[in-house]
Amino acid sequence: MWKKGSTLKKRLNTLLLVCLIPLAALLLYLLIMVDRFSRRYDVVVEKITKANAYNIDFKEDMDYLMYIIVVNAERAGELVDTQKPHLLIEDARQVFQGLYETADEEYAKNRLNGILKSLNTLEDRIEEIEADALVSGSYDRNMERLDLNIRILTELIQEQIQKYIYYETTNLESLREGIRADVDQAIRTVGIGYVFILAGALLISRKIMTNITEPVRRLCEMTRQAGRGDFAVRAREGSDDELAVLNSSFNQMVEEVGNLVEDIRVEQLNLRATELKLLQAQINPHFLYNTLDTIIWLAEAGDSQQVVILVSALSDFFRTTLSKGRDYITVREEEAHIRSYLQIQQFRYRDILEYEIQIPEELYQYQILKLTLQPLVENALYHGIKNKRGMGKIRVTGEHKDGRLFFRVWDNGKGMNETELLRVRELIKGGKNGEDGPSGFGLFNVAQRICLNYGAEYGLFADSAEGEWTEFSVEIPAVKN
């Protein structure tokens, strides 16, 4: 089946082809059969459904309408003017004309042609009655026409429809028998094909497994030893197939890993420290540009008092952001930082933004990781309040309980549905590595910094109600500065 010395890839490809090609052929055969059955069945059922809609209702509706025209002079004028009997006939004519055009048997065409002719005759008789409906003295003549023409014609049409339905129903039974025979044939074909495929797959897979299971077993054992820290272990090299290449690569890897483990650990620690410094140094240039534009606008407007307030807030904001390179600041400083940020943003979004900061003064003496709350406040503004119509509110609260500090950033913005909330929670846990844009990066940053600096038992948590509110809560240990 394959030449001696064939690679494992060629052997597996052979096994794959032996299985997939026949299976694909069987699947295609089944799909074609199902599609053909479905189309044939749907055509007949559609014809019966369309004809059956006029089997009883047409006669009853037409007889009733014509009876009202004959006996009720007041409603007769309304029915004649609105052409209701003619509309009913026109609807039926369109349906049966469509069935006639798609009919492929002479018997069906004859039946449908008879129905169409009867509809034309019925329309002529209706016009005769409508012409005399509002003429006094024509009641007896119209009643006679109603009995001898209209009701007889509608009954004739009903009988013709029933005969057509019976004919199509007979075809449906014949079709069912044909489908049953085709299904039996398909089952036999698929069963035989499956047996051959299974036999071929078993023979080939058994031969392949004989050649690879033992080398793989030995390699697995070597891998377990290396996983336990024994980097002196070596796999046996021999043939020229992929397993030999894998063994050789494994030996090189183990040799290099033994020398690099400590270096990797040191690099990871340095990388984390560098990442923390980098994330803390993130300053949104758009925020600075927009704030400076606001200051320019206020200065041009001559509002010097507001310029002083805004410049002071911006100065306080960046003073806390830099904080002389410190990683930890007091809760007082963090509160001043978010207050400055919200004060600046309120100049730009005064029509949609209100804020409230409720952090007790007894918490001011505790320390907190710098830039913990500000990214959450920014997220609440840009992804909660800005996406909501009307005035929005951001509330920041804090409390001390059981040796821990709890801070909550709440907004009454657009909120999140279950899917969005689940995505944000996965993002906070690091499931997407902060790849959901600036907002996702900020949330991931806060969560990771809390875990790295305080431990896995602390962190960032999210909750929300769609269209109502969103809340991010931070839990850290209570450590005095």
Rounded to 5 degrees, φ, ψ at 438 are -60, -40
Q: What are the pLDDT digits (tens) for 205-243?
A: 777 777 777 777 777 887 887 777 776 777 776 665 667
- Token pair, residue 79, equals 């029915």
For residue 268, give the 3-state DSSP assignment: helix
Alpha-carbon gap, residue 126 to 65, rounded angstroms:
10
Say which residues have a Cβ less than 8 Å from residue 112's Cβ, sequence separation at least 6: 96, 99, 100, 103, 164
Nearest to 387 by CA among 411, 423, 356, 355: 411
Alpha-carbon gap, residue 339 to 354, rounded angstroms:
12
Q: What are the pLDDT digits (tens) for 76-126?
A: 666 666 667 888 888 888 888 888 888 777 877 888 888 888 888 888 888
- Token pair, residue 264, equals 């990797």
Q: What are the pLDDT digits (tens) for 413-459?
A: 889 999 999 999 998 887 554 444 445 557 888 888 888 888 888 99
Q: What angle do CA 404, 410, 412 make, to 5 degrees?
A: 165
Cα 89 to chain center, whole Å?
47
Secondary element (H or E) of residue 33: helix 8-52
Q: What pTM value is reported for the model?
A: 0.44
Q: What are the pLDDT digits (tens) for 115-147?
A: 888 888 888 888 877 777 666 556 777 787 777
Strand ranges across the sheet with 404-411: 353-358, 392-401, 404-411, 469-477, 459-465
Say which residues have a Cβ less than 8 Å from residue 357's Cβ, sequence separation at least 6: 335, 338, 339, 342, 395, 396
Tokens 């392949």 appear where? 208
Residue type, 310: L
